[in-house]
């Protein structure tokens, strides 16, 4: 789960990392009110999950009320790389002389956490990593012990952080690691960590991505999930407990098992279609999950045809077939054509159960995908 900046900043501030005064606003009047309260100059920052917000016009500075009003009018409701901005963070602008980067993430190759510090903050850190990897100091952490204090100091010295602030930056990094661990985060980042003229350090941005698989032990963070979701369909998928990713195409895809669903997407593309989504109904799916899955895919207005691809291991073909009949039986008219391919456990029984008037049955994966792509083209 990816938190919004304002959510992440709350978590960082609670842990003791210095952040500028800020408040969330959803209307122009609220922006002006909050700006008055915080004191000018302020930054008005779009709260959407988009990289490079600043360059795209999603962050504006305001010196006074007129500028705050203009910034709010510009940003609220704007389309930022496909996302409509509904919330902005109004934040006291920080006068800085330096911008650093600090972050903690899981290095999956090494199978252990890594803490990172760089003096090239305020820019896309992935670009820095690609072009000048030496500019980022990295310290791998033994997760059984946590980060030793010397490791935080070492990362800060290795990165060449100015002496005057080294101790404070090391302290921020230590706090960041602890909160990364405490929140079961996958990534915790501050970019930029600003250094003021008075050598104070302040987190001007905050990134916190939490491991979805660990949300069961973080009720407080799980509560933020609905607010963090950006897409109605993705919110619905959370509710149903599906792994779902929305894409741009018009061929709806339902399957079991991540690798096989990805392969089905790839085949749709291979045969000239465009996938509308990734939807994994998981292992052992029963009739109700099948009904919910069809509901999900039909809710996407872009979908022109649906391919249902099940290879039964734990999942039983007859159960899936019953679910498909039940779900489609509820419609007077099937919204979009559905092609079904069943293989593996009880697949034959399943194919016998399926109602030919409701769905098209195909024996092979390749055949099912080609047929669905044709249907989707015909519907357009």
Partner 1 sequence: MSILVDEDTRVVVQGITGGEGKFHTKQMIEYGTNVVAGTSPGKGGQEVAGVPVYDTVEEAVEAEDADASVVFVPPAFAGDAIFEALDTDLDLVVAITEGIPTQDMAKVNKRLTETDTRLQGPNCPGIITPGESKLGILPGNIFSEGNVGLVSRSGTLTYQVVDSLTQRGIGQTTAIGIGGDPIIGTSFIDALEAFENDPETDAVVMCGEIGGEDEEEAAAYIAEHMDTPVAGFIAGRTAPPGKRMGHAGAIVSGSGTGTAESKIDALNDAGVPVGDTPEEVADNVEDLL
- Known catalytic residues are 101, 189
* 142 lines the binding site for partner 1 (CB under 8 A): yes
Nearest approach, Cβ of residue 283 and partner 1 (Å)? 7
User: Is 205 among the annotated ligand-binding positions?
Assistant: yes
In the set 260, 287, 353, 358, which binds partner 1 (CB under 8 A)?
Answer: 260
- With left for phi above 0 and alpha for psi between -120 and 50, is residue 199 left, alpha or beta? left
Among 263, 299, 302, 325, binds partner 1 (CB under 8 A): 263
343 three-state secondary structure:
strand
Binding-site size, partner 1 (CB under 8 A): 55
Q: What is the largest CA-CA distance in the chain?
A: 76
Query: Is residue 292 within the footprint of partner 1 (CB under 8 A)?
Result: no
Give the burial string for 44-76 (b: 16+ CB within 10 Å, else e).
bbbbbbeeebeeeebbbebeeeebbbebbeebb
Residues contacting residue 55 through CB under 8 Å, at least 6 positions apart: none
- What is the spatial distance between Cα 157 and Cα 341, in angstroms, rounded to a whole number? 59
Figure out which of the listed residues 265, 294, 306, 327 binds partner 1, where binding follows CB under 8 A. 265
Whether residue 36 is annotated as binding a ligand: the answer is: no
Radius of gyration of the chain (CA): 25
What residues from 240 to 259 belong to the interface with partner 1 (CB under 8 A)?
Answer: 243, 245, 247, 255-259
User: Which is closer to partner 1, CB of 29 or CB of 248?
Assistant: 248
129 binds partner 1 (CB under 8 A): yes
- d(C-alpha 340, C-alpha 87), whole Å: 42
365, 368, 373, 376: residue in contact with partner 1 (rule CB under 8 A): 365
- Which of 58, 113, 252, 317 binds partner 1 (CB under 8 A)? It is 113
Residue from 6, 12, 278, 298 touching partner 1 (CB under 8 A): that is: 278
In angstroms, what CA-CA distances link 285 with 139, 213, 256?
43, 19, 8
Strand, coil or helix: 176: helix
- Tell me the C-alpha distance between 310 and 285, whole Å: 10
Site string for partner 1, 33-52 (x = CB under 8 A): ------------------x-
Cα(33)–Cα(98) distance, integer angstroms: 30
Point out which residues bind partner 1 (CB under 8 A).
51, 106, 108-109, 111-113, 126-127, 129-130, 142-144, 181, 184, 186, 211-214, 216-217, 243, 245, 247, 255-263, 265-270, 275, 278, 280, 283, 311-314, 343-345, 364-366
Per the annotation, where are the binding residues for ATP?
45, 52-54, 91, 94, 99
Per the annotation, where are the binding residues?
45, 52-54, 91, 94, 99, 191, 205, 256, 313-315
Per the annotation, where are the binding residues for Mg(2+)?
191, 205
């Amino acid at each position: 789960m990816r938190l919004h900046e304002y959510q992440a900043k709350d978590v960082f501030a609670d842990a003791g990392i210095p952040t500028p005064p800020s408040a969330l606003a959803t209307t122009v009047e609220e922006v002006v009110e909050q700006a008055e309260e915080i004191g000018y100059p302020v930054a008005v920052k779009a709260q959407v999950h988009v990289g490079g917000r600043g360059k795209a016009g999603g962050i504006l500075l305001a010196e006074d009320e007129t500028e705050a009003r203009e910034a709010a009018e510009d940003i609220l409701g704007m389309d930022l790389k496909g996302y409509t901005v509904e919330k902005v963070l109004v934040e006291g602008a920080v006068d800085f002389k330096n911008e650093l980067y600090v972050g903690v993430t899981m290095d999956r190759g090494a199978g252990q956490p890594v803490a990172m510090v760089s003096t090239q903050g305020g820019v896309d850190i992935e670009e820095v990593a690609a072009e000048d990897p030496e500019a980022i100091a990295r310290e791998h952490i033994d997760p059984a012990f946590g980060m030793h204090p010397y490791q935080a100091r070492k990362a800060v010295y290795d990165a060449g952080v100015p002496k005057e602030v080294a101790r404070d930056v090391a302290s921020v990094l230590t706090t960041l690691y602890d909160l990364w661990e405490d929140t079961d985060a996958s990534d915790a980042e501050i970019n930029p960590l600003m250094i003021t003229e008075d050598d104070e350090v302040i987190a001007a941005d905050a990134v916190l991505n939490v491991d979805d698989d660990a949300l069961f032990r973080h009720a407080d963070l799980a509560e933020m999930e609905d607010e963090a979701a950006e897409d109605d369909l993705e919110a619905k998928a959370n509710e149903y407990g599906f792994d779902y990713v929305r894409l741009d195409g018009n061929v709806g895809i339902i399957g079991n098992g991540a690798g096989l669903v990805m392969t089905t997407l790839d085949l749709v593309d291979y045969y000239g279609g465009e996938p509308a989504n990734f939807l994994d109904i998981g292992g052992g799916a029963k009739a109700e999950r099948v009904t919910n899955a069809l509901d999900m895919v039909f809710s996407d207005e872009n979908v022109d045809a649906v391919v249902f691809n099940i290879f039964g291991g734990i999942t039983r073909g007859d159960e899936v077939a019953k679910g498909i009949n039940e779900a489609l039986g509820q419609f007077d008219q099937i919204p979009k054509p559905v092609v079904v391919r069943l293989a593996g456990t009880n697949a034959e029984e399943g194919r016998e159960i399926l109602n030919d008037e409701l769905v098209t049955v195909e024996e092979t994966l390749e055949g099912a995908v080609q047929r669905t792509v044709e249907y989707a083209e015909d519907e357009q």
